[in-house]
Structure 1
Amino acid sequence: MTTTMMMDRMTMPGTMTNQSMASGMPTMPQMMPNMVMVPRCSMKIVKCEGGIKIMAMCDDPTACTMMQNLCTMMAGGMCSLCCMMNGMMVCCCNLTMGACKLEMMNNGCCLTCTSGDDNCCAMIQSCGDCLMTCMESGCCCCMMIGGTPVCCCMC
């Protein structure tokens, strides 16, 4: 019964509400929020020679397959990681200063971002430190390739 009541109160985009029908003036359709479902994983960021390795691992085989498929489809796009807390972005690292390479693992994927330039390497590793600090402090980290989220992590 509660489902019926909720449906009665909900207006669909492009339809006129009671208020707009009473006044005779059409109103703008309501915007629907952009939502996407991405697999939840555990993420580990470690420094390596020339940059960082980001390992995203899933316990659930279905989530792992979905993440690997998303990574394969989006391969070649710009890699970025976003940390969010309470729905607000805390940190966003665009890994444009290095060469990113995706490799599939048994339980997830490994993103390696490296650079031959010492300054770029320092920036990449600093981004890794920042991301790990954010995740250890309770942020949710979302890994994106080409602007499309492929997985998210809560430490």
Structure 2
Amino acid sequence: MVTAMMNPMAATTGTANMGMGMGMPMPASMTPNMVMVPRCTMKVEKCAGGMKMTCVCDDPAACTMMQNLCAMMAGGMCSVCCTMNGMTVCCCNMTMAMCKCEMTANGCCLTCTSGDKMCCDMIQACCDCIMGCMKAGCACCVMMGGTPVCCCMC
């Protein structure tokens, strides 16, 4: 799949096995866990009560994969992680929001809202942060329940 990005899903690195002898196979529990994540175009905007993220895939296979991941992970906590040069710039966890995922013809739309004024302000502050990171050239990864569902390079 041309429109997919590799995303490390474990905190282990190659340095974790420094004490092991040369030529010995690394146990499965110590190998980095990687997952293919669909690449998309993401638009983030404020809306009444919170924010809205629209993820669009041009590739039909990537779109189907993203929609399946969203359907499987629906109901899990939504978060957005922005990175630049492999380092995390910000990670917004929508613990204060009710996140709803709707499928579109070529992707999905995540709406994170809250009826509480203070929570709405936090959600919209996260929206501003994500938009600023995207404008600066960060790679952003949308996760549901801790599982990446789509990534974009802006």
Summarize the alignment of residues 79-98 of structure 1 with structure 2, pairs less than 5 Å apart. Answer: 79-98=78-97
Aligned-residue CA RMSD (Å): 1.9
TM-score normalised per structure 2: 0.82
Summarize the alignment of residues 36-55 of structure 1 with structure 2, pairs less than 5 Å apart. Answer: 36-55=35-54
Shift in Å, 1:28:
8.0
Residue 134 (str. 1) matches residue 133 (str. 2): yes
Task: State the Cα deviation string for residues 68-92 of structure 1 (Å, max 9, x = none).
Answer: 0000000010000000111111100
Per the alignment, residue 142 of structure 2 pairs with 143
The whole-number CA distance in structure 2 between the counterparts of 1:34 and 1:91 is 22
Per the alignment, residue 100 of structure 2 pairs with 101
Shift in Å, 1:17:
3.3
How many residue pairs end up in the alignment? Answer: 134
Per the alignment, residue 29 of structure 1 pairs with 26
The whole-number CA distance in structure 2 between the counterparts of 1:46 and 1:28 is 47
The whole-number CA distance in structure 2 between the counterparts of 1:28 and 1:153 is 34
Structure 1's 28 and 40: CA in aligned 2 closer, same or farther, altered over 3 A?
A: closer
Of stretches 28-37 and 110-119 in structure 1, the one that deviates more from structure 2 is 28-37
| Residue aligned with 1:17, SS | coil
| Residue aligned with 2:35, SS | coil
The whole-number CA distance in structure 1 between the counterparts of 2:84 and 2:21 is 36
Per the alignment, residue 17 of structure 1 pairs with 22
Task: State the Cα deviation string for residues 87-140 of structure 1 (Å, max 9, x = none).
Answer: 111100000111110000001000000111111101000101100110110110
| Residue aligned with 2:102, SS | strand
Percent identity reads 69
**Consecutive unaligned residues in structure 2, runs of 5 or more:** 1-16
1:139 aligned partner, one-letter code? C
Summarize the alignment of residues 55-94 of structure 1 with structure 2, pairs less than 5 Å apart. Answer: 55-94=54-93
| Residue aligned with 2:53, SS | strand
TM-score normalised per structure 1: 0.81
Shift in Å, 1:34:
2.0
Per the alignment, residue 24 of structure 1 pairs with none
Instruction: Compare CA radii of gyration and give the structure with the larger one.
Output: 1
1:149 aligned partner, one-letter code? P
Instruction: Compare the two structures and name the one with the higher strand fraction.
Output: 2
The whole-number CA distance in structure 1 between the counterparts of 2:58 and 2:26 is 41
2:43 aligned partner, one-letter code? K
The whole-number CA distance in structure 2 between the counterparts of 1:131 and 1:28 is 40
